[in-house]
Structure 1
Amino acid sequence: MRKILHISDLHAGKNLNKVSRNPDLSYALEQVSDLCNREKVEAILIAGDIFDKAIPDYESEHMVLDYLTEWAGRDIHVVLIAGNHDSYDKLKAYKNLEKLTKIHIFDRPKPNPSEAIFVYDNLAIACLPYPSERLLTRGSEDTHRAYSYKVADYLKALAKQVENFQYKILLSHLMVEKGIIAGSEREASVSEFYAIRPDQIPEVFDYVALGHLHVHQKIDSAAAETYYSGSLYQIDFSEKDTKKFVNLVILEDNQIKVEPISLPLYRELKEIRIGKDQSIRRILEEIAHENALFKIILEIDQRDPMLNSKVQQINQALGEKLVFFKLDFSEYASTNMQNIESLNILDLYKAYYKQNYNCDLPEELEREVIYLLNMVHNETD
């Protein structure tokens, strides 16, 4: 029997309105360590987005390296790949760890698929770090078709490399069509133009360990057992009310069993709307002692003489737990707020285009906008 743990999307160094989320990540990684001890896990697969930014801060690097070396020191193989938030070159700098410990780093897609395989006894793990569209496609190509088909061809090449092993796992950071988006992912990176179809995942794999989408989910329409393990903690308020999991993968007698295991949260993200007729004091008494981070939306008349007093009351009661605070003066606050917050840059441009040209944004132009958004994200990290 072999036990493998699939985790992803650590996003070390994530800040939420200047509030560091590293304590939340550290708490989650402690649960991972406990689980490895309890279940006698032999390998941990980390499916990308190790860091939230391409150039992480010292504290985040120190924390990640501390856990990686701790796990490797317990005789656990750690296999990790780059995600779209990670710098290929930053992870390449860590590859010297392979000489000393059981840490195996795949920093970028390899031109030769044979170099993208980690073999452990009768188990082969094929690794595809985030395949940047800038590496795979050219401006003159039909980007959607070129990207998905090139990724699919590479997956076939990986499958060919591992087909003769008893157990075969694919570890990748990819967008797969029909995957559920949390809302905390980069909007351009989860576009349909940079997604592969479930049927493009080779069925030769016993298990497909994916990162990129932050919701834990199984891709039912894929032939292989295909899962996103999801983020280890609630990345931002779009993930409020979302439970977090890791996958324990058990390989035995040529069979595979997947056990999603729930992770407790260090601090839950909670959005609280306080209506005009509700008691602020009563609501604050109910939530002030919770170990959570809050987004408070206060519906209030801008002519209310107690406006400043109420704002001060909320700030004093919640202190550092108050991450976002909005004053809502609109009579139809709830509807308007939801409509505004559901928009992203691409949606705004589509609305602008339709208003000015009285037609929908052409697909070719939409692809170009998505490509530019991706370039901006990569250049500003």
Structure 2
Amino acid sequence: MRVLHTSDWHLGRAFHRESLLEAQAAFVDHLVETIRSERVDVVAVAGDVYDRALPSVDAVALCNETLRRLVGENVRTILISGNHDSARRLGFGADLIDAAGVHLRTDPARVAEPVVIDGVAFYAIPYLEPEVVRAPWQLPERSHSAAIEHAMAMIRDDLAGRDARSVVLAHAFVTGGQGSDSERDISVGGVAHVPVTAFDGVDYVALGHLHGRQRMGESVRYSGSPIAYSFSEAGHVKGSWLVDIGPCGFRAADFVPAPVPRPIARVSGRLADLLTSQRWARFEDHWLQVTLTDPVRPKSAMESLRRRFPHTLALAFDPEVTAQAAPRPSRISGRPEIEVALDFVREVRGEPADDDERRLLREAVEACRAKEALA
């Protein structure tokens, strides 16, 4: 059996306000092409199908189109809810949709009810919020580890009565995994990790939540997100794991890279060098996060950068040499607001505001006073 392990689609997500729906649709095209060329039997989606509990209409339409196309390829699809999904909304009509070969598993109570396909039992562990499952499962503590270990105990009990190979889908943060800036924090009391040993006893574990592909063990893997959702993922290779399950269980897994909608990069340097040097030419079509190292913060830096790098999305300032700091005022209370504002400009930029900026600040201060007077 061939299983295509994918996760963290985050349909509807934007990248620094840039829509990614076209890129996500291109990934779906790639997914279908891979299913055909690699003769995939089952697609396992390990959570975070949507980017939010109330997805946009366009995101729902893309999900609907994706599932329709997968059904058309005569491939079985198993999806679990992640911490970004609404379990109830994603799981709507699950029993009816089962008949089409799409298996939505979002209810923790069903973790020990596998989808059995050609002698392989697929167990689905949706994202488990510890506070939600603690009482019904009588967990000894409120933690992700306790929740996953209880779910796995139920799965092992069920599997013991079957003559079947096994695959577990789970959405969790496994100890040792490398996170990125685009993942939502799921820690409880400062702890979010689940030990990899919690998943012992099954043939393959298809993990979701972390956005970089990684192996937590030979048969315990994250596929990562199919698209980069933060600049911290600039070095990632995105895609899915193509997993072979043989008569004796897990046999091999190969990574299938996904198309890159637009490359991303982080660059750092002085503004004049970034705008003129040919060594930066290869980044002209990238989405960029730029850190300027000029000793004094340049004016209109974003506008200047976008003339050469039209897809610059984020700008930071980290001067190589700190400009001579202006004497800091000994007090703020009682001083005119305009003086405080002008001191702030001089402090963060290393040079005073010009005449136009002074006029703009005065107008802003006067507008605030007028608003307060009318309140």
Superposed CA RMSD in Å reads 2.7
- The answer as to whether partners of 1:136 and 1:147 remain within 8 angstroms in 2 is no
Q: 1:275–1:287: structure 2 CA closer, same or farther, 3 Å change rule?
A: same
| Structure 1 equivalent of residue 234 of structure 2 | 240
Extract unaligned runs of 5+ from structure 2: 324-375
What amino acid does structure 1 have at the position aligned with 2:28? L
| 1:178 equivalent in structure 2 | 176
SS of corresponding position for 1:66: helix
Q: 1:231-278, CA deviations, whole angstroms, 9 ceiling, x for partnerless residues?
A: 111111111111123111112232422122222311122112122662
Q: Deviations over 1:146-190 (max 9, x none)?
A: 542342022111122123233211111112112222232113449
The match for 1:269 among 259, 264, 271 is 264
Which protein has greater RCO, CA pairs closer than 8 Å, 6+ apart? 1
- How far 1:71 sits from its partner (Å)? 0.7
Sort the Cα spacing of 1:311 and 1:7 in 2 relative to 1 into closer, same or farther, 3 A: closer
Greater shift in the superposed pair: 242-251 or 273-282? 273-282
Q: Contact 1:233–1:265 at 8 Å: present in 2 too?
A: yes
Query: Of 305, 309, 313, which residue of structure 2 is paired with 1:314?
Result: 305
Q: Secondary structure at the match of 2:82?
A: coil
Contact 2:13/2:51 (<8 A) preserved: yes
Query: What is the TM-score normalised by the length of structure 1?
Result: 0.76
Question: Aligned with 2:277: secondary structure?
Answer: helix
1:129 aligns with 2:134: no
**Map of 1:45 onto structure 2:** 44
Which of 206, 209, 215 aligns to 2:206? It is: 209
Instruction: Supply the distance in 1 between the matched residues of 2:98 and 2:197 (Cα, whole angstroms).
Output: 37
Match of 2:100, SS? coil
Q: Deviations over 1:256-314 (max 9, x none)?
A: 22122222311122112122662513359714642x3111222334476xx33x54332
Gaps of 5+ in 1: 334-381
User: Partner of 2:174: helix, strand, or coil?
Assistant: coil
Cross-structure match for 1:323: 313
Letter in 2 for 1:122: G
Quick one: which amino acid aligns to residue 215 of structure 1? G
Instruction: String of CA shifts for 1:61-108, please: whole Å, max 9, x gaps.
Output: 111111111011111001000000000121122526515521110123
SS in structure 2 at match of 1:286: helix
Residue matched to 1:194: 192
The residue aligned with 2:255 is 260
Q: Distance in 1 between matches of 2:82 and 2:279?
A: 39
Of 220, 225, 229, which aligns to 2:223?
Answer: 229
Separation in 1 of the partners of 2:270 and 2:309? 18
What does residue 166 of structure 1 align with? 164
User: In the comparison of the two structures, how many residue pairs are matched?
Assistant: 319
CA contact (8 A) 1:73 1:101 kept: no
Query: What is aligned with 1:14?
Result: 13
Q: Which amino acid aligns with 2:314?
A: F
Structure 1 pair 243–187 and aligned structure 2 pair: CA distance change class (3 A): same
Question: Which letter does structure 2 place at the counterpart of 1:322?
Answer: T
Displaced runs of 4 or more, over 6 A: none
Q: Distance in 2 between matches of 1:315 and 1:215?
A: 29
What displacement does 1:30 show?
1.9
Instruction: State the partner residue of 1:297.
Output: 291
Taking a change above 3 Å as real, the CA distance of residues 289 and 311 of structure 1, as seen in their structure-2 partners, is: closer
Deviation sequence 1:31-78 (CA, Å, 0-9, x none):
221111001101100000001111110111111111111011111001
Distance 2:169 2:122 in 1: 7
CA contact (8 A) 2:206 2:223 kept: yes
Deviations along 1:8-44, one digit per CA (max 9) or x if unpaired, are 0001111122111222322222222111100110110
Does structure 1 retain, via aligned residues, the 8 Å contact 2:226–2:239? yes
8 Å CA contact 1:288–1:317 kept in 2: the answer is no
SS at match of 2:83: coil
**In structure 2, distance between residues paired with 1:72 and 1:216:** 26
Question: Shift in Å at residue 219 of structure 1?
Answer: 1.1
Write the letter of the residue equivalent to 2:226: L
